[in-house]
Structure 1
Amino acid sequence: MANTSARILYKPFGLAGSVGAGLIAGVLFKQVWKHVSDADDTPEANDRRFGWGQVLLAATVQGAIFAAVKAAVDRGGAVAFERWTGEWPGEE
């Protein structure tokens, strides 16, 4: 199987992994935020109850968690795909 074929076959797995990573990252962020702050709610940019610092800190933490979880899921999916098919689904 050519590398292009592997990438095409991997697309549905990668998409499902991205959705799952987003869900996992959201749950993880809420748990982290509860431990970091006194608030049960996570700051939204248009919520007056939170100041600039809280909103920007929350966005930074949320982005870092999302990026790390997505990278872990994407890499794990690529490794599993290679084990199953013998082909690496991305750039070599």
Structure 2
Amino acid sequence: MKASKLAYKPVGLALGALSGMFAGVLFKQAWKIIGHDGDAPDATDEERGWGEVVTAAALQGAIFAGTKAIVDRAGAAATRSLTGTWPG
């Protein structure tokens, strides 16, 4: 394993944790805008229908994946500008 890749591991882990927290905030805000109440349904929520549960899960997955991609890409680009090498 390259030294640059090894050195980037802790940075990548920290960025992943931050992107997860940020994505959670984004999802809650998005659900408030499109949902009928403040809390997104759980898969086992008996009071909610299939459509609402699946919509919430799909939206959450899209927000988490998109946010992670943005943060990972920005971290890799910042690493290249600082070190001159791409961490991947």
With normalisation by structure 2, the TM-score equals: 0.96
Instruction: Report Cα offsets for 1:49-82 as digits up to 9, x if no partner.
Output: 2111111000000000000000000000000011
Instruction: For structure 2, list consecutive stretches of 5 or more residues without a partner in the other structure.
Output: none
Q: What RMSD over aligned residues (CA atoms) do the two structures have, in Å?
A: 1.0
What count of residue pairs does the alignment treat as equivalent?
Answer: 88
Aligned partner letter, 1:87: T
Instruction: Report Cα offsets for 1:23-74 as digits up to 9, x if no partner.
Output: 0000000000000011111111111121111110000000000000000000
Aligned partner letter, 1:32: A
Partner residue, 1:40? 38
> Aligned with 1:60: secondary structure?
helix
Is residue 63 from structure 1 mapped to residue 47 from structure 2 by the alignment?
A: no
Cα offset, 1:6, TM superposition: 0.7
How far apart, CA to CA, are the structure 1 residues paired with 2:35 and 2:60? 14
How far apart, CA to CA, are the structure 1 residues paired with 2:23 and 2:69? 11
1:86 to 81, 84, 87: 84
Partner residue, 1:76? 74
With normalisation by structure 1, the TM-score equals: 0.92
